[in-house]
Amino acid sequence: MGTYDECKAGILQCSSWLCRQGYFGTLQGTGGNVSVRAASGNVFVITPSGRRYETMTPDDMCVMDFDMKQIEGSLAPSVEAALHLRIYQSRPDVNAVVHTHQTCASVLAVTNTALPAMFDEVMVSIGELIEVIPYALSGSPELVDNVASKLGNLCNCYLMQNHGALSMGESLDKAWLNAELLEKAARIYCIALATGNGVTTIPAPILNDLVALRREMVRGAARANEARWESGGR
Ligand SMILES: [Zn+2]
């Protein structure tokens, strides 16, 4: 077993599911990307650039250090690798990142519409407001800076203006679930807005309690990660 085999297998399983379910926008294309932070804390594994998901193998995954030096894999990493790196550097609570072009979240992204907290399940798992990150070209340093400017709200999902969505979490399973929860909430919000009736959100006193609870959970996850990395990733 190689050091990163588990990460590679997990990414392949997740990205294949996301592709089949339409989260990357096309079945034949190569859009979207998925990464996982390795146990050591300062290495991440990411899907390659320009490779169709149905032909991808674990060996196609790219292992990158935090200086963007490629440790394993013969293919070039996703063009958004620097964006994934910035998220890992900025958010010690995050161990996996999923970038998608999922339909309903993209509707909100092209209408510059932030997604409010309508369901406690989404609130606790993702955060109180899923904000829109201002547009910049895919793969550009400007896009990385725009994403970094929003990460301080400790949310686990973001809408990328005229592009798609970002979901993250303490584990690949959680980032994956957050992408699905985001699509569920975005679909309901789009349909609710289309009715022309008002949309209700979680009442303020309960929302405030949930926000405080969630922030404590996120900080706890960051502390646990940092302690594990200090002890050599065990
Ligand atoms: Zn994209």
137 alpha carbon – ligand 1 mean position (Å): 10
Beta strands in 27-85 (DSSP E): 33-37, 43-46, 62-65, 70-72
Low-confidence ranges of the chain (pLDDT < 70): 234
User: Which residues participate in catalysis according to the annotation?
Assistant: 80
Cα→Cα distances 136→26, 140, 166, Å: 21, 7, 14
Residue 3: CA atoms inside 13 Å, Cβ hemisphere, count?
Answer: 15
91 alpha carbon – ligand 1 mean position (Å): 20
157 alpha carbon – ligand 1 mean position (Å): 14
Q: Do the domain assignments include residue 137?
A: yes
Per residue in 5-54, pLDDT (tens digit) is 999 999 999 999 999 999 999 888 888 999 999 999 999 999 999 999 99
CATH code of residue 143: 3.40.225.10
Q: Do the domain assignments include residue 190?
A: yes
Q: Do the domain assignments include residue 163?
A: yes
Question: Would you state the pLDDT for residue 234?
Answer: 64
Q: What pTM, to 2 d.p., does this model score?
A: 0.96
Q: Do the domain assignments include residue 204?
A: yes
Question: Would you state the pLDDT for residue 232?
Answer: 82
3-state secondary structure of 129: strand
202 alpha carbon – ligand 1 mean position (Å): 31
d(CA 220, CA 141): 30
Q: Do the domain assignments include residue 55?
A: yes
Domain count across the chain:
1
Q: Do the domain assignments include residue 234?
A: no
116 alpha carbon – ligand 1 mean position (Å): 23
- Inter-axis angle of helices 5-20 and 172-194, to 10 degrees? 20
6 alpha carbon – ligand 1 mean position (Å): 25
Q: Do the domain assignments include residue 232?
A: no
**Domain carrying residue 92:** 5-227
d(CA 178, CA 169): 7
Q: Do the domain assignments include residue 233?
A: no
CA 119-201-23 angle, to 5 degrees, is: 50
233 alpha carbon – ligand 1 mean position (Å): 30
